[in-house]
Amino acid sequence: MSTTPSPGPTTVPATDAVPLPTREPDAATLAGADAATLAQADAATLAQADAATLAQADAATLAQAAERAAGDLLAPPAPHRLADVVPAPQQIQPDPTGDWVLPAEAVIVASADPAALAVAEQLAHLLRPATGYPLPVTDATTPEPAGGIALALDDTVDLGAEGYRLDITTDGVRVTASTAAGLFYAVQTLRQLLPAAIESPDPVTERWALPGGTITDAPRFPYRGAMLDVARHFFAVEDVLRVVDHLARYKLNHLHLHLTDDQGWRIAVDSWPKLTTIGGTTEVGGGPGGHYTKADYARIVTYAAERHITVVPEIDLPGHTNAALVAYPELAPDKIAPPPYTGTEVGFSYVDPADERTYDFVADALGEVAALTPGPWLHVGGDEAFKVKGEVYTGFVERVQRIVADLGKTVVGWHQLAPAAHLDGRVLQWWGTNGEDPTTAEAVRRGARLIVSPGNHAYLDMKYAPDTPIGHDWAGLIDVRKAYDWDPGTHVADVPTEAVLGVEAPLWTESVTSLADIELLLLPRLPAIAELGWSPRATHDWNGFRDRLAGQGPRWETAGITFHRAPEIPWPTAPTIPAQRKVPQTETTTP
């Protein structure tokens, strides 16, 4: 939020029924008052209250205490409310008397556990550039805030695999979670509660105030994802890492990479090298394409894992395979290499389901990708294979599903897989535009779980408005409200909420050629989808979301992230980014 907190509808359970933070006496009155008078008055009060202690205390100590008390009374409240977080936390208990300002000498202390210490280092990395504070990281058996930030890993607390508790008091910040993922999500929350200037890559003059109170938080769904199509256009590792950062910010935990399509094969497969040396050299529009070496891919997987994000690799089969057929014509039904494809049509290509060599290829490619994949999922596509019909299609899919199971992975596929036989654990990714889908509902009755990605709500490649410079509109226009106003738990008819594993926002890249393009389509809709995946349904409220989302704008601006200034969001117009600090960093930085 901007500096004027919005009193928008309360969207959290009863514990948030606390009015906006106000101080007694209010800040305006105090601002006009004379600090010295206040300090004296406070000293007098202290003197009356505890004469015995005072008798022992020396004058310097007294003066310091009085000054501190006066400072506290004069301090304005933290600029953000505890509720100014996207995705909305499960439970919020504000305590306006608990506001805390991060001091230059603060220490970050974490449980003596490598995973907890790693999160502490990540927090320090987030806070050091803008604050210019050293923020050393230490460990302790029982971490205590002691005027700094404590990250406690505690497996006796019942907060779930990803939950956390965040307490902000005048003594500092205490984060508690039973997993490193929980600590990491608390850090993302903490980041949003600080002034937007915390996103600055350079030191700025700011009062790093946090709003007092407690947040208890945990996700609604275990699967919260986004997909990046690196096949239609290829994106460098650095760009993908930056997308991972955006996911992490909003507590998404899966990155689905659409690695292969008609226009390019993007992942090295040693046993079929021409997939990349030939199949990787094209992309939509005739650009040079590219591919990830195994080392590149491992870098993405590791970077994502450090941010508690699981990579879900997709090898799209049996359709969307023109690039593979160019490289290996033996896989084509007519055994003739098709011309490379750089257009944007779909549904024309397929690997030969009648040739055993095809299944060798599938097993080799999926096997090598599985070996690069620590996560449980292998996505096998299955969409728009218009030329592989009926039992030939289901027969192909059933063989591929077994290959995945034999590799020890869990099958994910687009919902076109639905008519194929069920296989333990199988997950369908539903991308329809009409929630009436009896075939998918039937597959769910047979045991499938669903990732919900409605084309007309969650497809980030759809334009926001007719004048959006890039993107599609085949599933309609998706403004921020359209991205936000639906419920993954009830969206597909006759699919119970319990069968919904979660939600994913796919970004297809036929018209997306740069990181700035990616960000323009991702933001601000990605946080909307993230909130649907994380926040309890009871918090769902468009007006409240709009206000909270507006507060993200200055953060993106400060961090140099491109976003769409959606007209329905009340982005703050006043400058919210303090001037860069021109004084030596050792000087006091109180504004």
Residue 435, token pair as written in the block = 């929630």
Q: Does 525 participate in binding ligand TNX (rule CB under 6 A)?
A: no
- Asked if 428 contacts 414 with a C-beta cutoff of 8 angstroms, the reply is yes
Binding residues for ligand TNX restricted to 498-517, rule: CB under 6 A:
508, 510
Which one among 352, 368, 437, 461 touches ligand TNX, defined by CB under 6 A? 461
Q: Is 208 within 8 Å of 200 (Cβ atoms)? A: no
- Alpha helices for 180-236 (secondary structure H): 180-193
Residue 249 interacts with ligand TNX (CB under 6 A): yes or no:
no
**135 near 166, Cβ under 8 Å?**
no
| Binding of residue 470 to ligand TNX (CB under 6 A) | no
Identify which of 284, 230, 283 has the alpha carbon closest to the alpha carbon of residue 259.
230
Q: How far is the CB of 229 from ligand TNX (least distance, A)?
A: 6
Contacts of 44 (CB under 8 A, 6+ apart): none
* Residue 384 designated active-site: yes
Indicate whether 346 belongs to the interface with ligand TNX (CB under 6 A).
yes
Is residue 208 at the binding interface for ligand TNX, with CB under 6 A as the rule? no
**Which residue, 350 or 534, is less far from ligand TNX as judged by CB?**
350
- Asked if 381 and 316 touch (Cβ cutoff 8 Å), the reply is yes
Is residue 256 near ligand TNX by the rule CB under 6 A? no
Residues in 93-112 that interact with ligand TNX by CB under 6 A = none
Count of residues near ligand TNX by CB under 6 A: 10
Shortest separation between residue 369's beta carbon and ligand TNX, angstroms: 18
**Other Cβ atoms within 10 Å of 163 Cβ, number:** 21
Among 164, 265, 350, 414, binds ligand TNX (CB under 6 A): 414
Catalytic residue selected from 67, 121, 306, 384: 384
Q: Which residues contact 68 (CB under 8 A, 6 or more apart)?
A: none
Q: Does 262 bind ligand TNX (CB under 6 A)?
A: no
Rounded CA gap, 486 and 137, in Å? 42
Comparison of 367 and 432: residue with beta carbon closer to ligand TNX: 432
Q: Which is nearer to ligand TNX, 348 or 542 (CB)?
A: 348
Q: Are the C-beta atoms of residues 163 and 137 closer than 8 Å to each other? A: no
CB of 414 to ligand TNX, least distance (A): 4
- Among residues 585, 588, 591, the alpha carbon closest in space to that of 128 is found at 585
Residue closer to ligand TNX (CB basis): 189 or 349:
349
How far apart are alpha carbons 398 and 368 in whole angstroms? 20
Nearest-angstrom CA–CA distance, 566 and 521: 11
Q: Do you find a cis peptide bond into 145, omega within 30 degrees of 0? A: no
Classify 90 as helix, strand or coil: coil
Provide the minimum distance between the beta carbon of 27 and ligand TNX in the complex, in angstroms, as a whole number. 51
In whole angstroms, the minimum distance from the beta carbon of 509 to ligand TNX comes to 8
Q: If binding is defined by CB under 6 A, does position 431 make contact with ligand TNX? A: yes
Distance (Å, whole) CA 264 – CA 59: 76
Among 472, 491, 564, 581, binds ligand TNX (CB under 6 A): 472
> Toward ligand TNX, which CB reaches closer, 386 or 538?
386
272's CB contacts (< 8 A; 6+ apart) are 327, 328, 361, 364, 365
Nearer to ligand TNX, 111 or 263 (CB): 263
- Least distance from ligand TNX to the Cβ atom of residue 319, Å: 9
What is the rounded distance in angstroms from the CA atom of residue 437 to the CA atom of residue 337? 37
Nearer CB in complex with ligand TNX: 393/556: 393
- Structure token pair of residue 515: 């990181």
For the bound state, the minimum distance from the C-beta of residue 472 to ligand TNX, rounded and expressed in Å, comes to 5
Q: Which amino acid is at 126?
A: L
In DSSP notation, 496-513 reads -GGGEEEEEEEE--TT--
415 near ligand TNX (CB under 6 A): no
Looking at beta carbons only, is 167 or 314 nearer to ligand TNX?
314
Letters for 539-558 (x = contact with ligand TNX by CB under 6 A, - = none) are --------------------
Q: How far is CA 465 from the centre of its chain?
A: 24
Distance CA 99, CA 77 (A): 7
Cα–Cα dist 111/155, whole Å:
11
Q: Token pair for residue 192? A: 């949003």
Amino acid at 218: A
The Cα 106–Cα 526 span in angstroms is 33
Q: What is the 3-state secondary structure (H, E, C) of 350-378?
A: ECCCCCHHHHHHHHHHHHHHHHCCCCCEE
Closer residue to ligand TNX (CB): 131 or 453: 453
**Measured from the CB atom, is 291 or 472 closer to ligand TNX?**
472
Nearer to ligand TNX by Cβ, of 307 and 463: the residue is 463
Q: Report the relative pairing of strands 260-261 and 500-507 from DSSP bridges.
A: unpaired
CB of 508 to ligand TNX, least distance (A): 3
Does 75 sit near ligand TNX (CB under 6 A)? no
Instruction: Report the site for ligand TNX in 373-412 (rule: CB under 6 A).
Output: 383-384
Task: Decide if residue 430 touches ligand TNX (CB under 6 A).
Answer: no
φ/ψ of 294, rounded to 5, equals -65, -35
Q: Are strands 213-217 and 377-381 parallel, antiparallel or unpaired?
A: unpaired
The alpha carbon of residue 162 and the mean position of all alpha carbons in its chain are separated, in whole angstroms, by 13
List interacting residues with ligand TNX (CB under 6 A).
Answer: 346, 383-384, 414, 431, 459, 461, 472, 508, 510
Active site residues: 384
